[in-house]
Structure 1
Amino acid sequence: MTKSVLQLQPIDKLSLSLIMAFSLVIGGLVWGGKACGDNCFFHNKPRVKEFSWDNQQIGAKDSSFIITFDRPMDQTSVEQNLIIDPPLGGKISWAGRRLAYTLNTPVPYGKTYQVHLRGAREKFREGNQSGQTVEPFFSQFTTRDRAFAYIGTQPNEQGQLILYNLTDNKKTILTPPNLVVMDFKFYPNGQKILFSAAQKSRGSFGIRELELYTVETEIQGDSKQELLPKIELILDNKDYQNNQFDLASDGETVVVQRVNRENPADFDLWMVKEGSKPERLNAPGGDFKITPDGQAVAVAQGQGIAIVPLKPDAEPLEFLPKFGQVLSFSRDGSAAAMVNFNTDNANLRYIRSLYYVNNQGVQKELLKVEGSIINCQFNPNGTALYCLLTQLLEDKEEYIEQPYFAKIDIKTGQLIPLVSLPDYRDIEISLAPDGLGILFDQVITRYDPTPNDPLTTDSGEAIVGSRLWLLIPPNGKPVKGTKPELNALPLVGFRPQWSP
């Protein structure tokens, strides 16, 4: 007799039992999830998978953060429940499960910010049924310390590079007393400074013997140890005299104006990159600035500004015959503030014009002054310029210029005076990376310098002291009666520069 009934093995019986058990569990989960909604402990809630600024330290160039969810979210509920404390104005955009928050202005320095999200829901599923609420999310981030560097003028700090951290109220001397610093530039992350210096023993002759160095600042990072700043020689002065220099925004390239010691008629711009020998650019001229993209240099040549690629023997990309000086570039590199000296008309010998020039071919005159345009710097979003100007005063016996600060709206051309200064002598200004403060100096000079004076102005006067000031312009549009805040800092030095 043949068997017609299939005989199940023990392993088959176990498999069928497990399949039935799992089916019942899954069915219960699905039914229970529909029945009890948000109250089901076994129903996973949506959550934030990643926050790009989580416990990070950010700077002015960090303009947006991203929040990534583990599933599609109801965008309106997220936007209504996202809290940043203290508040930061910005715009929200979405790409699938990713929320991008772009700031309207750079985040203020020296602060801690908290980010909260509660009550937001995942995207609606079936019909009018609401999705699950998100797991409560909390994170925070900090901004860089508010800090700046300057050159000391007190007898025990004369010519030394000094870092002052306003956030921690901490002062650090970065260079040894045997070096006299003449100029310096911060690297983009603020962890190093490029500076030119000469031996203090050379006195006023040191201006012809400048060498380029870097020094670590130690103001960033988690280390709180007191470390001696590390100094490294970048460019010596054996065959060439080093004059003006500039540092590219990416910190990769240095451009230096150099003069051949054997043949002073041989002067040119040189490019210096880490690990490579200096290269001549074949771009002689006067004042210059590296463009924000780090690919070219704007140099004054004769009656105009040449834009020269940072490549040896390259031909100029553009020549702007109308202008004699580049004051500054906007942060995104799309525009520049330039000066027209009006040298084509002898009757306008004291007239200077400030122009806004962008990469779309716009050349807009913003201001015409009978005096000088000392410096202008773009605010972070490129909508205004903060300028140090002078006004020629009526005096039959002598030529007198009255310096003052002003804000100029680029769109309207409106000039808003901020504060007047008592005199003008080699004032240097620096606008904070978050746009909330302007540093400037007022040097004290002696008219009869000696060869032993290591610090001198561009006109050759001996620098014997200097005061540092902090100007805080009114936020937003000026309100009638609102005045800028002007503070004298308890520091003695000159050429202040904010850390990025």
Structure 2
Amino acid sequence: MPFPQPLDKAALGVMLVAALFTLLLLWGGDRTHAQVRYFTWQNRDIGADDRAFILAFNRLMDWSSVTQHLRIEPPLAGKASWSGRRFAYTLTQPIPYGQTFQLSLDEAVSVPQGKPMQAFQGQFRSRDRVLVYLGSGVEEGRLILYNLTLQQKTFLSPPNLRVFDFQPYPAGDRILFSASERGEQMSFDPQLYTVTTGLHFNAPDRPRRQPRPIGELSLILDNSDYQNLRFQLANDGSKIIVQRVNRLQPMESSLWLLDRNFQPRRLNQAAAGDFRIAPDNQHLIIAQGQGLAIVPLVPESKETAFDFLPQYGMVLDFSRDGRKVAVVKFNPNFSRSLYVVNIFGTHEELLTVNGSILAAQFDPRAEHLYVILTRIEGDETYREVPYLGLFDLKTKQLYKLKDFAPQQDLYLSLSPDGRTLAVDYAEGHSTPDTIDNSDLYGDTAPLEGSPDLLGELPTPDTGEAPPRSEQPQPQQHQIWLFPLELNQDKITVGMPEPLAPGLQARWLP
């Protein structure tokens, strides 16, 4: 047998070393500790749509020990699940805004060795609690941002503009609004603008970037050839629908679509009533006569899940997941009925009233519905008295929370975490001592609530009620915040607290 060549010697040596290393590894085992490789919420800003985080490990773990030793401060209720080397924790309630959280995990063990893992510390925060509203009184017509987390108030619009309406973009970094120059006459001839809020939240699924400076104003649609009326921003911020009137032909009113680059394109659709963009961002819902029309915004749009809407007269709100919608049906006897309908075609009537159904908004889990309704009072003088209510959609029970003065303009907005309800109404009015339920039909909405039930509004003990003044008092819209305590199957409503003079308050996402 010939003597091995040098290359054969080298190969043989490598094989012997590898075999020796394998034997040592099998004898001694892998002595590295189990550890967290990455945490999806690390140093991120978490919003209400972020429902779960993932911890990825470098080896298989005893998942029961991970669940047992996982700590989050302040606590966040949730459910654990796992697959392979990944551990997921899904929140059962939206994360409360305006807080910083610490996550820790130690003493959990790996399998099959049963060795303790290397201790892990993580940190994340929820988004700030931020309201945007229109000023009232001396601040009339100004667009104002109020950061409740930082207790900072900022004017977004310049003083030369009077703002009429606005809608926040889904990222909270910009506001779309209509406004006109202030002048001697209170004419309504707005242009459309965007303005930056100075906020940017580093969401878990998006690259990090620096926020744009606050107050950057951009004109996106002028009023030279058309008068701009109402507008709607899509949920994803991809498009805007604007109702416009031709100045040369005032009887011609039509809808226009603006894309992400704000290029206007006229739709072949007349603007006869209220309209809103559906949750799929591909269809437009328009109030027409006795029903609702569903119009595709792009030719390739598929059929919408809400093809049943034409039998109703008005859309009030969609649930966050787009699976439920609150709608109003106008009845032949001039009463109105409130329904909640899901994408599977289940129609549930909540109540019928002789008054009006002004507004409604689902809570984040679509288990409750906040509403503003009115009842009719007076035999000779017709007046509508509004009140705030809360429906438990499981039981269809309505809980009245607060009465307001007659003939008021009201607006409600529920915070994205479902823990604060903003309502604006005019000050300087008295409210009735008793609540009249005669405007409700049948047994669809029982109103006998006890203090231990959902939605009870505590009343402070102020002793003897002061005498009511017959002198008319000046009206100024004031924003009030109702704190909400979320439990497993009920909501407790606290005493409202005033925030600032203003109206049309909307929470940033």
Deviation at 1:169, TM superposition (A): 0.4
1:226-265 matched pairs, under 5 angstroms? 227=213, 229-265=215-251
Q: Flag the 1:314–1:78 CA change in 2: closer, same or farther, 3 A.
A: closer
Deviations 1:306-343 (A, max 9, x none): 1211137999964634321110111111111001121x
SS, match of residue 186 in structure 2: helix
Contact 1:304 1:319 in 2 (8 A): no
SS, match of residue 122 in structure 1: coil
1:78-117 matched pairs, under 5 angstroms? 78-117=66-105
Instruction: Answer yes or no: is 1:368 the counterpart of 2:368.
Output: no
Distance 1:231 1:173 in 2: 12
Deviations 1:382-418 (A, max 9, x none): 111111112223x223223332221112232111222
Contact 2:418 2:484 in 1 (8 A): no
Distance 2:310 2:18 in 1: 81
Instruction: Answer yes or no: is 1:158 the counterpart of 2:140.
Output: yes
Question: Amino acid of the residue matched to residue 496 of structure 2?
Answer: L
Contact 1:110 1:167 in 2 (8 A): yes
SS, match of residue 286 in structure 2: strand
SS, match of residue 279 in structure 1: strand
Deviation at 1:25, TM superposition (A): 5.6
Q: Flag the 1:50–1:118 CA change in 2: closer, same or farther, 3 A.
A: same
Structure 1 partner of 2:27: 31
Distance 2:177 2:5 in 1: 86
Contact 1:111 1:142 in 2 (8 A): yes
Contact 1:280 1:312 in 2 (8 A): no
Q: Flag the 1:177–1:477 CA change in 2: closer, same or farther, 3 A.
A: same
Instruction: Answer yes or no: is 1:283 the counterpart of 2:257.
Output: no
Instruction: Answer yes or no: is 1:475 the counterpart of 2:486.
Output: yes
SS, match of residue 79 in structure 1: helix
Contact 1:144 1:220 in 2 (8 A): no
Q: Flag the 1:430–1:479 CA change in 2: closer, same or farther, 3 A.
A: closer
Distance 2:489 2:55 in 1: 35
Q: Flag the 1:474–1:65 CA change in 2: closer, same or farther, 3 A.
A: closer
Deviation at 1:110, TM superposition (A): 0.3
Structure 2 partner of 1:383: 367
Deviation at 1:467, TM superposition (A): 1.0
Q: Which moved more, 1:403-412 or 1:235-244?
A: 403-412
Distance 1:219 1:471 in 2: 25
Q: Flag the 1:392–1:300 CA change in 2: closer, same or farther, 3 A.
A: same
Aligned residue pairs: how many? 455
SS, match of residue 101 in structure 2: strand
Structure 1 partner of 2:180: 198
User: What RMSD in Å do the two structures reach over aligned CA positions?
Assistant: 2.9
Question: Amino acid of the residue matched to residue 286 of structure 1?
Answer: G
Deviations 1:248-282 (A, max 9, x none): 11111111111222222211221111325312222
Structure 1 partner of 2:292: 305
Distance 2:26 2:3 in 1: 34
Structure 2 partner of 1:149: 132
Structure 1 partner of 2:316: 327
Structure 1 partner of 2:469: none
Deviation at 1:437, TM superposition (A): 0.9
Distance 1:7 1:179 in 2: 92
Q: Flag the 1:488–1:274 CA change in 2: closer, same or farther, 3 A.
A: same
Consecutive unaligned residues of structure 2, counting only runs of 5 or more, are 203-208, 429-473
SS, match of residue 71 in structure 1: coil
Contact 1:384 1:407 in 2 (8 A): yes
Deviation at 1:358, TM superposition (A): 1.5
Q: Flag the 1:226–1:72 CA change in 2: closer, same or farther, 3 A.
A: closer
Distance 1:316 1:211 in 2: 33
Of 372, 393, 410 in structure 1, the residue corresponding to residue 393 of structure 2 is 410
Distance 2:295 2:160 in 1: 37
Instruction: Answer yes or no: is 1:497 the counterpart of 2:497.
Output: no
Structure 2 partner of 1:340: 329
Deviation at 1:302, TM superposition (A): 0.8
Q: Flag the 1:7–1:355 CA change in 2: closer, same or farther, 3 A.
A: closer
Q: Flag the 1:479–1:370 CA change in 2: closer, same or farther, 3 A.
A: same
Of 54, 64, 72 in structure 2, the residue corresponding to residue 66 of structure 1 is 54
Instruction: Answer yes or no: is 1:170 the counterpart of 2:169.
Output: no
SS, match of residue 78 in structure 1: helix
Instruction: Answer yes or no: is 1:399 the counterpart of 2:382.
Output: yes
Deviation at 1:191, TM superposition (A): 0.5
Q: Flag the 1:487–1:478 CA change in 2: closer, same or farther, 3 A.
A: farther
Q: Flag the 1:179–1:316 CA change in 2: closer, same or farther, 3 A.
A: farther
Q: TM-score when scaled to structure 1?
A: 0.83
SS, match of residue 269 in structure 2: coil
Contact 1:305 1:319 in 2 (8 A): no
Structure 2 partner of 1:294: 281
SS, match of residue 282 in structure 1: strand
Q: Flag the 1:362–1:221 CA change in 2: closer, same or farther, 3 A.
A: closer
Distance 1:245 1:429 in 2: 19
Distance 1:338 1:213 in 2: 30
Contact 1:164 1:171 in 2 (8 A): yes
Q: Which moved more, 1:371-380 or 1:423-432?
A: 423-432
Q: Flag the 1:493–1:483 CA change in 2: closer, same or farther, 3 A.
A: closer
Deviations 1:88-136 (A, max 9, x none): 1222222222222222121110011111111222232xxxxx4322211
Q: Flag the 1:92–1:15 CA change in 2: closer, same or farther, 3 A.
A: same
Deviations 1:441-462 (A, max 9, x none): 11479xxxxxxxxxxxxxxxxx
Q: Flag the 1:226–1:465 CA change in 2: closer, same or farther, 3 A.
A: farther
SS, match of residue 61 in structure 1: coil
Instruction: Answer yes or no: is 1:465 the counterpart of 2:450.
Output: no
Distance 1:476 1:247 in 2: 33
Q: Flag the 1:442–1:31 CA change in 2: closer, same or farther, 3 A.
A: same
Distance 2:309 2:11 in 1: 83
Instruction: Answer yes or no: is 1:219 the counterpart of 2:229.
Output: no
Q: Flag the 1:276–1:110 CA change in 2: closer, same or farther, 3 A.
A: closer
Larger radius of gyration: 1
SS, match of residue 433 in structure 1: coil
Instruction: Answer yes or no: is 1:488 the counterpart of 2:477.
Output: no
Distance 1:427 1:385 in 2: 16
Deviations 1:160-207 (A, max 9, x none): 1010000000011111111000000000010100000011115321x1
SS, match of residue 204 in structure 1: coil
Contact 2:273 2:286 in 1 (8 A): yes
Deviations 1:56-101 (A, max 9, x none): 0111111211221122222222222222221212222222222222
SS, match of residue 279 in structure 2: coil
Question: Amino acid of the residue matched to residue 32 of structure 1?
Answer: G
Distance 1:313 1:235 in 2: 26
